[in-house]
Amino acid sequence: MSVLIVGSTALDSIKTPKAENPRLLGGSASHAAVAASFFGPVKLVGVVGDDFPKRYIQLYKRHRIDLQGLQVLPGNTFHWSGEYESNMNNRRTLLTELGVFEKFNPSLPDSYQSTPFVLLANIAPALQHHVLDQMRRPRFVAADTMDLWIKVALPDLLRLLKRLDAFVLNDSEAQQLTGEDNVFVALKAIHRLGPKYVVVKQGSHGSILSGPQGLFLCPAYPLVKVVDPTGAGDSFVGGMMGYLAAGKGPIDGHLRRAMTYGSVIASFCCEGFGVQRTTRVSRAQIDGRVKELERLTRF
């Protein structure tokens, strides 16, 4: 089955202690769509400016991503620039130029409205609502978020939580949202806000699922070299949703493995700038790392 993915489609200029890469393909929806594309059809919803490089359109197409929902507006594509410290965990934003993103008001093509799996990747909660409003009874809806929306758009976000099957956020956001230091207490508090499934991402420490079947501790793939972690969280949730959409039968039967696939695609994402590594990986390499994670965690 298909996954509809809405989120940001951006140009990222990323500086690390080792290198500087201007105007990479970035944005939550780009990373998530590439990740999901390994498992089945993906429909992208986003907006770019008329400066958006053709090679990035071609890149989406190589991943067989449906671009009917990608608007091209006059003006500049959303441009984000950030710099990582040498531990590759701490980063600071150098620049945010919204460009055409400021006017983003997605109107879904007819062919998108019955997509069974919906991923509301990181974007303003009002836009996540707006997309969801146009969907006809999706089977499974997941959303990601970021610290900014918890700070500036909390009422919208809380209203969104009641419309989701799964909510994905990172550990510091879970703490920010609930005021709870302990992640397992935070998970319970987030369930009370609505979602049946809650996933907390913990970067190199993996992720935690809480759902009707209890907890799942999902490992991160061990990386000896992190080139650029930008988009790892988006790749995780994209890979997870892509895998889920490809599965037959109940969600609960696939969710753990879906997270592990998401985790592995996130690991590839970290090994290159932007989507450079993710777009070059094969399904066999992804399967290989999932198998390896199985071996690394069995006792």
The contact set with its own copies (CB under 8 A) reads 86-88, 181-185, 188, 202, 204-206, 208, 214-219, 222-226, 256-257, 259-260, 294-299
Nearer to its own copies (CB atom), residue 218 or residue 281: 218
The CB-of-185 to its own copies minimum distance in angstroms stands at 5
Token pair of 140, please?
């499974």
Which of 272, 258, 168, 276 is CA-nearest to residue 223?
272
The label of the residue with tokens 């995780």 reads 236
Which residue type does 143 have? A
The CB-of-146 to its own copies minimum distance in angstroms stands at 22
State the alpha helices, DSSP H only, in the chain: 28-36, 54-62, 125-133, 147-152, 154-161, 171-178, 183-191, 232-246, 255-270, 283-297
Nearer to its own copies (CB atom), residue 148 or residue 215: 215
Which of 31, 39, 88, 92 is CA-nearest to residue 203?
88
The CB-of-224 to its own copies minimum distance in angstroms stands at 5
Nearer to its own copies (CB atom), residue 124 or residue 258: 258
Nearer to its own copies (CB atom), residue 58 or residue 89: 89
Give the C-alpha separation, 227 to 19, whole Å: 9
Nearer to its own copies (CB atom), residue 53 or residue 222: 222
Residue 28: CB atoms within 10 Å: 28
Contacts of 152 (CB under 8 A, 6+ apart): none
The CB-of-191 to its own copies minimum distance in angstroms stands at 13
Give the C-alpha separation, 193 to 143, whole Å: 14
Nearer to its own copies (CB atom), residue 26 or residue 206: 206
Nearer to its own copies (CB atom), residue 135 or residue 193: 193
SS3 90: coil
Contacts of 216 (CB under 8 A, 6+ apart): 208, 209, 255, 256, 259
Decide if 246 contacts 228 (C-beta within 8 A).
no
The CB-of-40 to its own copies minimum distance in angstroms stands at 20
Token pair of 203, please?
């970067």
The CB-of-207 to its own copies minimum distance in angstroms stands at 11
The CB-of-34 to its own copies minimum distance in angstroms stands at 23
The CB-of-290 to its own copies minimum distance in angstroms stands at 9
Decide if 187 contacts 210 (C-beta within 8 A).
yes
Nearer to its own copies (CB atom), residue 50 or residue 181: 181
